[in-house]
């Protein structure tokens, strides 16, 4: 029997009503397992680990990503797959972060959650949980079918670092706008095997390290110099996500270009990501992005915001030579971007 480690972090999937019936509070994993006796029919050996203090995913921090990385690494040799139960709000951030921290991954790490707590009548938690466990245990010729960090939600399996949350209310809460789904669950689980990631590295290596000294600057019509300079001059900041219009465009106001250029000359790494969910940054395609390319802004292709933030945090933490760091940012390390 394949061994699957279920890691419970908290979130809606494990919450129950409080005594006053007005709020939701985290509960323990035993409660979740009791709600789904069907898990015993999967012929998998399920083991569990719960964070000492389960948290709402809004409180998720890079320190928790490091803890999850270490849990997976310490159990990697003994387990055939991993399932992480996680709140949906920051689930795509955690999935992206883990994809970078787990190099040479040859086993499934699947994250899931729910929009309604597992104890509610109309909950989506049961199906998400059961199918995610089944996916984590799928093997062919004793080799895991899925060998990457993925998100399973509402009948679809997505690459973790290609996914974003798009709805606070619908059960179809996630989308992968620039990459096809890995699998769809209906009467059967249909795997899109050609879309599955296979690591180019021979050895599994865990690198639980992130530097959160970054910022996000979102462009909007009428943005002021004082606002831009305030974000560019945050003490200790090492990297910045510049969220631009369309295919990477921003205002050509001289003061804006000069402010960004000055920050880059001071050593700030600036990564250009589009505010659009679909499509990619193509710096130089229009005049409004040519100046950004000229001054050293790095084009982020079709990275999601979640993947861009976590990838930048991950690379900054490893104190790479600036030229190598920039090359890594634009390279497809874990299937997170489409290389031109």
Backbone conformation region of residue 91, classed left if phi is above 0, alpha if psi is from -120 to 50, else beta:
alpha
Q: Are residues 159 and 303 in the same domain?
A: no
> What domain range is 200 assigned to?
3-206
State the Cα–Cα distance between residues 247 and 285, nearest whole angstrom.
Answer: 8
- The pTM of this model reads 0.94
pLDDT tens digits along 44-59: 999 999 898 888 899 9
Residue tagged 């305030």 (tokens)? 230
**Cβ(117)–Cβ(123) below 8 Å:** yes
Cα separation, 179 vs 257, in Å, equals: 32
DSSP three-state, residue 200: coil
Pair (62, 191) in one structural domain: yes
- Asked if residue 340 is part of any domain, the answer here is no
Summarised one tens digit per residue, pLDDT across range 15-34 is 766 666 676 666 666 766 77
Residues constituting the chain: 340
149 has a pLDDT exceeding 90: yes
Strand order in the sheet with 298-299: 214-218, 239-244, 269-274, 298-299
Q: Rounded to whole angstroms, how far apart are CA atoms 4 and 95? A: 18
Active site residue 12: yes
pLDDT at 334: 98
Copy the structure tokens of residue 161. Answer: 């670092």
Of 12, 69, 94, 112, which residue is the catalytic one?
12
What does the pLDDT look like over 55-103, one tens digit per residue? 889 999 999 999 999 999 999 999 999 999 999 999 999 999 999 999 9
Q: What is the domain-level CATH number for residue 226?
A: 3.40.50.40
Q: Establish if 337 belongs to a structural domain.
A: no
Distance, in Å, from the CA atom of 323 to the CA atom of 326, rounded to the nearest integer, reads 5
CB burial readout 274-294, b (16+ within 10 A) else e = bebeeebbbbebeebbebbbe
| Cα–Cα dist 108/268, whole Å | 35
Q: What is the pLDDT of residues 269-322, one digit of tens each?
A: 999 999 999 999 999 888 889 999 999 999 999 999 999 999 999 999 999 999
With a cut of 80, say whether residue 174 has pLDDT above it. Answer: yes
Q: Please report, rounded to a whole number, the percentage of residues in the chain having pLDDT higher than 70.
A: 95
In a domain, residue 338? The reply is no
């Amino acid at each position: 029997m394949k061994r699957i480690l279920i890691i419970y972090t908290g979130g809606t999937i494990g919450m129950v009503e409080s005594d006053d019936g007005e709020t939701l509070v985290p509960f323990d994993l035993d409660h979740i397992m009791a709600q789904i006796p069907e898990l015993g029919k999967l012929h998998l050996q399920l083991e569990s680990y719960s964070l000492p203090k389960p948290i709402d995913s809004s409180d998720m921090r890079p320190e928790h990503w490091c803890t999850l990385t270490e849990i997976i690494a310490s159990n990697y040799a003994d387990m055939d797959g991993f399932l992480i139960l996680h709140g949906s709000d920051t689930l795509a951030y955690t999935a992206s972060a883990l994809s970078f921290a787990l190099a040479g991954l040859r086993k499934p790490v699947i994250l899931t959650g729910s929009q309604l707590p597992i104890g509610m009548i109309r909950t989506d938690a049961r199906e998400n949980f059961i199918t995610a466990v089944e996916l984590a245990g799928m093997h062919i010729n004793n080799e895991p079918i899925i060998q990457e960090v993925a998100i399973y939600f509402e009948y679809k399996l997505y690459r973790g670092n290609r996914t974003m949350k798009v709805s606070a209310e619908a059960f179809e809460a996630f989308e992968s706008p620039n990459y096809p789904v890995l699998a769809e669950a209906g009467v059967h689980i249909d795997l899109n095997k050609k879309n599955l990631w296979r690591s180019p590295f021979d050895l599994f290596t865990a690198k639980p390290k992130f530097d959160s000294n970054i910022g996000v600057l979102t462009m909007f019509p009428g943005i002021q110099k004082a606002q831009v300079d305030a974000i560019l001059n945050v003490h200790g900041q090492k990297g910045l996500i510049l969220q631009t219009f369309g295919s990477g465009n921003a205002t050509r106001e001289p003061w804006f270009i000069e402010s960004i250029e000055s920050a880059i000359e001071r050593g700030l790494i600036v990564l250009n990501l589009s505010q659009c969910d679909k499509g990619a940054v193509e710096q130089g395609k229009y005049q409004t992005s040519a100046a950004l390319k000229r001054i050293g802004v790095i084009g982020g292709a079709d990275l999601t915001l979640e993947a861009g933030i976590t990838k930048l945090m991950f690379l900054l933490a490893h104190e790479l030579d600036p030229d190598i760091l920039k090359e890594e940012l634009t390279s497809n390390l874990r299937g997170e971007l489409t290389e031109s």
